[in-house]
Structure 1
Amino acid sequence: MSRFIAAIEIDGAGGDPGAWRGPEVDPRAILTGELAVRAAQRAEAAGVDLVTFADALEAPADVPDRVSVRLDALGLAARVAPVTQRIGLLPTITVTHTEPFHVQASVATLDHISGGRAGWIADVSTSAEAAAVIGRREPAPAAETWREARYVVDAGRRLWDSWEDDAIIRDAATGRFVDREKLHYVDFASPTFSVKGPSIVPRPPQGHPITAIRVTVPEALEAAADAELVFLPDSGELSVQVRALRSGSESAADRRSVTLTAGDGRRSVGLTPDRDPRGPIVLVSVEVRPHADGVGRLLESVERWVEAGVDGVQLRPASLELDVPVIAEQLLPVLRERGLVGSGERGGSLRGRLGLRRPVNRYARSTR
């Protein structure tokens, strides 16, 4: 893609666990969602393309001087949707202990209430803590949970297609709300779950809301082949990873494996050959504190990331109240002058904003 995509993550008062203690922060605004609303509106006005919402099944550690609660990402995105007009909204949803049918219905609902600006970040859980809280299954290793996540993504897209776009007829004369011929069973089965369908929510405005994967462990890299948007960590191998994600049309030798640098070390992982040859949109994900460090070094990093071939950046501010204004007022104007980011007035669906076409419904008949 030619235009650099800008994203900001919302996580409590910011990525710094102590951000909520700053004199500029009203801690109550974290739990009412007002802090998130203010950050999203500032980002939208500056021309940021999308905001992501951090989440996890595990509760934050109950440590003195830290906020030990976190708002549900999907609920927070729904809170932000009615008070924004253009910015994309991607909550993190952990699929390991969550019913796939409810996941897709929730994301579809967010797409409806936001007017076609929704997506989601599929995540997994391997912890015994989450398994004990939910109580449905034993914890599983990362390879197993990420393999299941790919099935969840596939099932979700099929369920979004289970309603044809014109299935709703609202015929008052006959009392018919939907055309039953335009609702479809998906009859999806995986090793761990099955879904009959159809969905309980009409097809989303975008057809398929954007599916994203954040790569933090090697096992997530294979699942990223099924995503439309991928967040990669910054590392010396960033350009290699980007090329690997886009190597679907290259020889098998070129795409055989790639080394991922993540929190748990280095590991060579295989990449799937049967993906879209164009590859996903790739953003580098970085923690930033421009209120303290300035934007000069960040601008230098952007130049390096562009050379590495990424499509944009996901900035994870240390403090929403301190860093987002600096990003909006100092970083984005420079990126706009360089022709990288678009106007703050840019609207439309999130798919359109990212340059992605609306998917054709796989169940719709080609002729009437």
Structure 2
Amino acid sequence: MIIGLEIDGAGADPAAWRGAEVDPRALLTGELAVRAAQRAEAAGIDFVTFADALEAPEDVPDRVSVRLDALGLAARVAPVTERIGLLPTITVTHTEPFHVQASVATLDHISGGRAGWVVEVSTSGEAAAVIGRREPASAAETWREARYVVDVSRRLWDSWEDDAIIRDASTGRYVDRERLHYVDFSSPTFSVKGPSIVPRPPQGHPVTAVFVRTPEALEAARDAELVLLPDSDEVAAQLQALRTSGIAAEGSRSVPVIVVSLPVEAEEVGALVEEIGRWAAAGIDGVHLRPASLELDVPVIADQVLPELRARGLTGPADRGGSLRGRLGLGRPRNTFSGSAR
């Protein structure tokens, strides 16, 4: 099975930062995330996601009312890890698509082909007011736009052919401009001409993920390569809908990689392992573990849960490497512009 881990502040429990084992100052240095990602990598976990939102956390007593930017945090973790996949959450509703794809492509380059992104939207008036570019919109509208952002991102990643960089010092040519292409993309809310400012990512297309929290997100997940399903009574129906839909990403599986998201608490190791075994028997591709406390629960996941899963033959060896697409069983997409004239 594919195993993922969520990094969200000090953990999913809003009170995790108050634990005696946590230095609250580390929330704003990235050290908690670095430590969690390194422990996860050493244990053989396949990827980590970084939670984020445009809205500020609630300013209430005993809660952390700040957060680090997920993309920046992933970039902090990339140079100090070697094998684990990195998927920051990026809210595309108020963000320029051209800059989004360039940032994800950059993360793929600096991580050596281990990047992805969790596509998210915002319907809140708070986020709209903070950004100041547009009025809030419905979930249907924002997810429709998100699918356009995913589409144009893939086109922009293809706007550089794989051999566009030639580094010919004798002629002073670094790039073969005949291998850069316009995308000329238009949607109801934005247009992009291209090409990208970042060369094609090592994976061709970094992995696109969607966390299914609403019916609109489930529809958008048909375009994703990795789908995160919250553990709920609706999983069976959601799974059936995804298994029969296929996805739009050329070169990947005919159906998305589907992962169920499970909460983790240190005292429930046995129950967690049994639950993962049940999901494996049901044909789920993997699980996404959400530790209540990074400092308490990630060591338990690394030292107890992963070895037990490995002993049951449910996950692979800890030291396996390669690209994130490779770990997920996804092929490298063909460049749609290859062999064409600019």
Question: For the superposition of Structure 1 and Structure 2, which TM-score range results when normalised by the shorter chain?
Answer: over 0.9
1:19 paired with 2:16, answer yes
User: In structure 2, do the counterparts of structure 1 residues 228 and 305 end up closer, same or farther at CA, with 3 Å as the change threshold?
Assistant: same
Q: 1:335 aligns with which of 302, 306, 309?
A: 309
1:301 paired with 2:275, answer yes
Q: How many percent of aligned residue pairs carry the same amino acid?
A: 76
Shift of 1:200: 0.2
Specify the alignment match of 2:32 in structure 1: 35
Specify the alignment match of 2:300 in structure 1: 326
Unaligned runs of 5+ in 1: 250-271
1:95 paired with 2:92, answer yes
What are the residue-to-residue correspondences of 1:137-152 with 2, within 5 Å? 137-152=134-149
Specify the alignment match of 1:354 in structure 2: 328
Equivalent AA in structure 1 for residue 40 of structure 2: A
1:280 paired with 2:280, answer no
Q: 2:5 aligns with which of 1, 4, 8?
A: 8
Number of equivalences:
340
Query: CA-atom RMSD, angstroms?
Result: 1.7
User: In structure 2, do the counterparts of structure 1 residues 12 and 273 end up closer, same or farther at CA, with 3 Å as the change threshold?
Assistant: closer
Mapped contact 1:248–1:273 kept (Cα < 8 A): no
Specify the alignment match of 1:314 in structure 2: 288
Equivalent AA in structure 1 for residue 107 of structure 2: L
CA distance in 1, matches of 2:234, 2:199: 42
Shift of 1:273: 10
TM-score (norm 1): 0.90
1:223 paired with 2:197, answer no
Mapped contact 2:6–2:48 kept (Cα < 8 A): yes
1:200-246 CA-to-partner distances (Å, cap 9, x unmatched) read 00000000000000001111000000000000011233223212201
Equivalent AA in structure 2 for residue 14 of structure 1: G
TM-score (norm 2): 0.96
CA distance in 2, matches of 1:277, 1:95: 25
CA distance in 1, matches of 2:19, 2:88: 25
Equivalent AA in structure 1 for residue 206 of structure 2: P
1:364 paired with 2:331, answer no
1:27-59 CA-to-partner distances (Å, cap 9, x unmatched) read 111110001000000000000000000000000
- What SS does structure 1 have at the residue aligned with 2:156? helix
User: In structure 2, do the counterparts of structure 1 residues 352 and 277 end up closer, same or farther at CA, with 3 Å as the change threshold?
Assistant: closer
CA distance in 2, matches of 1:274, 1:47: 27
CA distance in 2, matches of 1:361, 1:274: 12
User: In structure 2, do the counterparts of structure 1 residues 71 and 144 end up closer, same or farther at CA, with 3 Å as the change threshold?
Assistant: same
Equivalent AA in structure 1 for residue 232 of structure 2: S
Equivalent AA in structure 2 for residue 317 of structure 1: P
User: In structure 2, do the counterparts of structure 1 residues 64 and 274 end up closer, same or farther at CA, with 3 Å as the change threshold?
Assistant: closer
Equivalent AA in structure 1 for residue 260 of structure 2: V
CA distance in 2, matches of 1:109, 1:274: 20
Mapped contact 2:104–2:115 kept (Cα < 8 A): yes
User: In structure 2, do the counterparts of structure 1 residues 32 and 182 end up closer, same or farther at CA, with 3 Å as the change threshold?
Assistant: same
Specify the alignment match of 2:200 in structure 1: 203
Specify the alignment match of 2:319 in structure 1: 345
Greater mean alpha carbon deviation, residues 178-187 or residues 63-72: 63-72
Specify the alignment match of 2:244 in structure 1: 247
Equivalent AA in structure 2 for residue 309 of structure 1: G
CA distance in 1, matches of 2:269, 2:248: 39
- What SS does structure 2 have at the residue aligned with 1:295? helix
Q: Report runs of 4+ in structure 1 exceeding 4 Å deviation.
A: 272-277
Specify the alignment match of 2:155 in structure 1: 158
Equivalent AA in structure 1 for residue 199 of structure 2: P
Specify the alignment match of 2:121 in structure 1: 124
1:64 paired with 2:61, answer yes
Greater mean alpha carbon deviation, residues 171-180 or residues 158-167: 171-180
1:276-304 CA-to-partner distances (Å, cap 9, x unmatched) read 88210000012221x2x331111121122
Mapped contact 1:94–1:122 kept (Cα < 8 A): yes
Equivalent AA in structure 2 for residue 326 of structure 1: V
Greater mean alpha carbon deviation, residues 110-119 or residues 337-346: 337-346
Greater mean alpha carbon deviation, residues 81-90 or residues 166-175: 166-175
Specify the alignment match of 1:253 in structure 2: none
Specify the alignment match of 1:104 in structure 2: 101
CA distance in 2, matches of 1:61, 1:241: 31
CA distance in 2, matches of 1:97, 1:23: 38
Shift of 1:366: 7.4
- What SS does structure 1 have at the residue aligned with 2:290? strand
